[in-house]
Chain A
Amino acid sequence: MTDQRVAIAGVGQTTIWPRGQSAPLTEIDLTCQALTSACADAGIPVTDVDGFAFYRGGVDAGLLAQTLGIKEITFCASLSGAGGGSAGTLGLAAAAIRSGMATVVACPMAFQQIGTRFGAAYARDGVGGGPLYNHAAPEDDFLRPADLVAPAQMFALITQRHMHKYGTTREAFAEVATTFRDNARKTPGSLMTKPMTRDDYFNARMISDPICLYDCCVESEGAGVVLVTSLERARDLRPTPVEVLASVHGGEGDWGQGIMWLNMPDEIFSSSGHRGVARRMYERAGITPADVDVAMIYDHFSPMVLLQLEDYGFCGVGESNDFVLDGNIRMDGAIPVNPNGGQLSNGYLIGFSLVTEAVRQVRGEGANQVPGAEVALVTGGPAALPVSGSLLGAVR
């Protein structure tokens, strides 16, 4: 049997722009920018790319191929769902490599919010209304009479339950927001670079209790690409290939549509929906949370960082409040989280800026580097299934 190990050979990312400001570039422009820079980074000709692994439907692969002069596409697939799949595209790419269906798989994400706002994703009315509003989904009808229109409100409901059940406090959310802001200030290209104190956090206006303005990620635009190939090939390309130790997606059926359902059983309701994925991911990689040096945790809303710390086993269920307040997610803590500032302060590309940063951290190339980091966790969004998680490791 051939070596089944798979690695990331190249990574590329555009500027991250505030919402609406990447124009006149198009989504294809952004994707091609990121893809060509990932190929340059890897030392792979663009024409060698023969596979695409997407999430949330992805980018038009035909248009990509004709725009960049791709020779032949031999694999082209997307995880279903939305931001939950960001980390899982690596596993989809790995499956293509291992099965022999492709040899160099690009995982692209491109995102623009011109004319739409993800902040009001489920709103039905026009101006500022939502891209995820679906006229044809009878399930979604049950969100509407109560004017539940925004992901911030949905995650507020999950957060409030966690606070009730475990005594979790806004102090811990403030610690997440201020820690990531500090990290973003050390990362060139971050969108939010004004210093943030605890007082700044508590003075911010409330969006949907207990989620305040600084608990919400920035609305932004840009693109990122990672190139996945066999470890054997990656060894010839880069001095430091980054191995995909495990990349899994899916999730427990009881989580279902998650924030759009809100009828999950109580045992799983105040979680991130990632417990099943986390268990399988560690099993496949053969490592434990204690082996992880840096965690890129999907932070569309800061409370969800706490719930993922629990679900990925860095602390017990219900213990994340104290875990965070003890300084454990800071750069010098037990598990530094989002050293680039995350989606709260660096920029939001539906999870992909966390994937690219995980690669940089394992290479030792982070602008705000965790010293000696060899194993990185990166998570997809707590969202409707599938959710996903990946472990990346330095190749010794």
Chain B
Amino acid sequence: MKTADMETMEKLARLGLYPTKDTLPFWDALLAGSLVTCRCAACGRFRQPPSGFCPGCRHTEVVWQRSDGVGTVYSFTWARHAFTPGLRDRVPYVIALVELDDAPGVRLIANILDAGEDQVRVGARVVADHRNAAEARIDFVLRGEADD
């Protein structure tokens, strides 16, 4: 791998993330404040997480497509119990599955930031938020707030 890649790998390892050749471009982009999605270079099918083979056609080459980060909440939960000591200051937080408008078939496991108890629902419109990009967090905010 290139030296730049090694540096990124080391940075991600400090965050507890251990990418491979297939997932590194996603994390690399995230650290730089953007979302990219993995798409089969042959049949165009999106897949998540990025992997070495297209489950539709078994092709191995991919194209990385930049996403504008706009999507819809597919499901969510308010995590209220701190399962580990490190989460005591985090609860309650929203874990959501977000489907991206421009990458059908991709569902990201994310947090929804700045949301009130009754604001998060299945079908809510959200947009990616990169304030925690340096920690490689996958964050969204509710669309209404982002447009304010």
* Chain A CB within 8 A of B106 CB: yes
* Chain A CB within 8 A of B74 CB: yes
Cα A144 to Cα B110 with chains together (Å)? 9
Q: Which of B93-140 contact A (CB under 8 A)?
A: 93, 95-97, 105-111, 122-123, 135-138
Q: Are B136 and A158 in contact (CB under 8 A)?
A: no
Q: Are B136 and A149 in contact (CB under 8 A)?
A: no
Q: Which of B77, B85, B111 contacts A208 (CB 8 A)?
A: B77
Q: Are A207 and B19 in contact (CB under 8 A)?
A: no
* Chain B CB within 8 A of A200 CB: no
Q: Which residues of A contact B78 (CB under 8 A)?
A: 206, 208-209
Q: Which residues of A contact B85 (CB under 8 A)?
A: 125, 127-128
Q: Which residues of B contact A150 (CB under 8 A)?
A: 79, 81, 83
Contact-residue size bin, chain B (C-beta under 8 Å from the other chain) = 35 or more
Which single residue of chain A is at the shortest CB-CB distance from B108? A142
Cα A149 to Cα B81 with chains together (Å)? 11
B81 to chain A, nearest CB (A): 4
Q: Which of B64-100 contact A (CB under 8 A)?
A: 74-81, 83-87, 90, 93, 95-97
- Mark A131-156 against chain B: 1 for CB-CB distance below 8 A, else 0: 00001111101111111111011001
Q: Are B76 and A157 in contact (CB under 8 A)?
A: yes
B26 to chain A, nearest CB (A): 9
A30 to chain B, nearest CB (A): 26
Q: Are A138 and B95 in contact (CB under 8 A)?
A: no
User: A129-B84, A164-B122 are known contacts. Are A147 and B75 too (CB-CB below 8 A)?
Assistant: no
Q: Which of A136, A148, A164, A208 contacts B81 (CB 8 A)?
A: A208
Cα A136 to Cα B16 with chains together (Å)? 10
* Chain A CB within 8 A of B44 CB: no
Q: Which of A120, A141, A146, A263 contacts B19 (CB 8 A)?
A: A141
Q: Are A123 and B83 in contact (CB under 8 A)?
A: yes
* Chain A CB within 8 A of B41 CB: no
Q: Which residues of B contact A156 (CB under 8 A)?
A: 77
Q: Which of A146-187 contact B (CB under 8 A)?
A: 146-150, 152-153, 156-158, 160-161, 164
Q: Are B75 and A209 in contact (CB under 8 A)?
A: no
Cα A147 to Cα B76 with chains together (Å)? 13
Q: Which residues of B contact A124 (CB under 8 A)?
A: 16
Q: Which of B18, B74, B83 contacts A141 (CB 8 A)?
A: B18
User: A146-B110, A263-B48 are known contacts. Are A141 and B76 too (CB-CB below 8 A)?
Assistant: no
User: A142-B49, A146-B95, A262-B97 are known contacts. Are A125 and B86 too (CB-CB below 8 A)?
Assistant: yes
B50 to chain A, nearest CB (A): 8
Q: Are B137 and A145 in contact (CB under 8 A)?
A: yes
User: A138-B49, A145-B138, A147-B90 are known contacts. Are A119 and B83 too (CB-CB below 8 A)?
Assistant: yes
User: A142-B49, A161-B75, A262-B97 are known contacts. Are A128 and B18 too (CB-CB below 8 A)?
Assistant: no
Question: Can you offer 29 A-B residue contacts whose CB atoms are under 8 A?
Answer: A120-B83, A123-B84, A124-B16, A127-B84, A128-B83, A136-B18, A138-B18, A138-B49, A142-B48, A142-B138, A143-B109, A144-B16, A145-B110, A146-B110, A147-B79, A147-B95, A148-B109, A156-B77, A157-B76, A157-B95, A205-B81, A206-B80, A207-B80, A207-B81, A208-B78, A208-B95, A210-B77, A262-B107, A262-B109
Please provide the 3 A-B residue pairs with the shortest distance between their CB atoms, ordered closest to farther. Answer: A156-B77, A120-B83, A161-B75
What is B's interface to A at a CB cutoff of 8 Å?
Answer: 16-20, 22-23, 27, 47-49, 51, 74-81, 83-87, 90, 93, 95-97, 105-111, 122-123, 135-138
